[in-house]
Amino acid sequence: MSRCLLVQFSGRSRGWARGIGTYSSSSVVDEPITPPVKITDTQLLINGKFVDAASGKTFPTLDPRTGDVIAHVAEGSAEDVDRAVAAARKAFDEGPWPRMTAYERSCILLRFADLLEKHKDDLAAIETWDNGKPYKQAAEVEVPGIIRLMRYYAGWADKIHGLTVPADGEYHVQTLHEPIGVAGQIIPWNFPLLMLAWKIGPALACGNTVVLKTAELTPLSALYAARLLHEAGLPPGVLNIVSGPGPTAGRALSSHMDVNKLSFTGSAETGKVVLDLAAKSNLKPVTLELGGKSPFIVCKEADIDQAVELAHLALFFNQGQCCVAGSRTFVHESVYDEFVEKAKARAMKRVVGDPFKPGVEQGPQIDAKQFEKIRSYIKFGIESGATLECGGERYGSKGFFIQPTVFSDVQDDMLIAKDEIFGPVQTISKFKDLDEVIRRANKSHYGLAAGVFTQNLDTANTLARALRAGSVWINCYHVFDAAIPFGGYKMSGFGREKGIYSLSNYLQVKAVVNPLKNPAWL
């Protein structure tokens, strides 16, 4: 690993901080690598064709490493959503997709997965360029993840079926599981490709048609993948993509009378708006995967070195821009001081820089707005009396890079302990016993995930049952297998993504009752 990529420690403690390290800036940020991929898909996808927005407007999508424009993308509006929904409606009501055999749909999805694999390097490069995440993460974790996910749902397509039901009286009763219709889907900017797969995989496997709105900050990878899906044989109108702002395109999709199902991933505040719009239009069912403030609990018998590394991964993965980030680290008082020192040392060694360069662990935040939001929370943490162990400042002179930041002595009433920061800011608190940490961990509006690090089976079982969260990881974190359901409790949303549970989001159940003419054969 090149020394120029390493985050260097050279500072001393000062004032409100304890042993704060300063981070040297590096040419890694100032001289970004040019990705070896050409951006060609920047229009809207409607009825199987890439087209301009009705208004002719475009918006820039930026390179988070520098703030420079990567490309100008067609800016979808309510009129474009109408066009996309009309195409999806016609494809569902008259087209071949819901009428072809489930095996034929499966074959198309499998061909799509093969094409994703063939073009995996370009997909990873686009994802890193548009989002800022490390190329290694995109290439070795996320792109293989969407390939696996599409093959998983291709396997489900011909295994969706109803039941025969015994009924009182002389009747034959069966249930049919039918596609729900036109699915509206809104995805976030932090995992554009993965969220695309999480949404369209089950919807298409069940025979639905889709209108998907990308995040305006990261539209490029979804458009590239959509071209491959049509190359695999997807009929026109089955998948339509509109890139545009939430207040216009997102609002139009959420409130559209001809959309039969809505799925949204994003913030809790926006989720409330989406749910309200869906209810006021046609009462379409809604699946929401919203924010989180997930606890990561380190118990007294833990191997501290392993616990530090796992807690570091839980928080700093994807620049901390992860809804399940282990952003509230609770450490037993008997190992607290050792944990804090080692967590600080690990953060100081985190490699920050151009995400295309080998060895880089942390790239830039997504944009200037998120960058400033994170810095404001760091300021709140300092002003509220938490101890800043390291970080807290901008990294480099270009782009939206923030030093890996660690706070200790964090109290539950501080904003950094309550709000979703969505950045590389680890907060560490002390606890005395299980009853206390369970109460404190559950004292949150959110309930998306939780992490537990313990070598005691009874402790693991107790916490797994007691924590009010949709995912509880024991001695691991960020495990997202295609078959594992994902979703939240409380204000983290409702409904489940991935696995068998996601199929019910996109199916209607119909009961069919026939009288038996010859009941003697019952």
Residues labelled as active-site residues = 289, 323
431 beta partners: 332
* Locus of tokens 């944990």: 339
Find out whether 442 and 467 touch, Cβ atoms under 8 Å.
Answer: yes
Helix (H, G, I), strand (E, B) or coil at 150: helix
- How far apart (Å, rounded) are the C-alpha atoms in residues 208 and 97? 8
Q: How many residues does the chain have?
A: 522
- How far apart (Å, rounded) are the C-alpha atoms in residues 487 and 491? 11
Helix (H, G, I), strand (E, B) or coil at 515: strand
- How far apart (Å, rounded) are the C-alpha atoms in residues 237 and 215? 21
Find out whether 427 and 410 touch, Cβ atoms under 8 Å.
Answer: yes
Return phi, psi of residue 474, to 5°.
Answer: -100, 115
* Locus of tokens 């370009």: 122
3-state secondary structure 97-129: CCCCCHHHHHHHHHHHHHHHHHCHHHHHHHHHH
Nearest CA among 195, 193, 194, 189 for reference residue 263? 195
**How many Cα atoms are found within 13 Å in the side-chain-facing hemisphere of 95?**
22
The conformational region for residue 418 under phi > 0 = left, psi -120 to 50 = alpha, else beta, is alpha
DSSP 327: -
- How far apart (Å, rounded) are the C-alpha atoms in residues 29 and 397? 7
Helices 457-466 and 434-442, interaxial angle, to 10°? Answer: 30
- How far apart (Å, rounded) are the C-alpha atoms in residues 446 and 323? 10
Calculate the CA 18 to chain-centre distance: 34
CA pseudo-torsion sign 271, 141, 308, 454: positive
Return phi, psi of residue 501, to 5°.
Answer: -65, -30
DSSP run (H or E) holding 418: helix 415-418
Find out whether 497 and 481 touch, Cβ atoms under 8 Å.
Answer: no
- How far apart (Å, rounded) are the C-alpha atoms in residues 214 and 33? 26
Residue type, 181: G
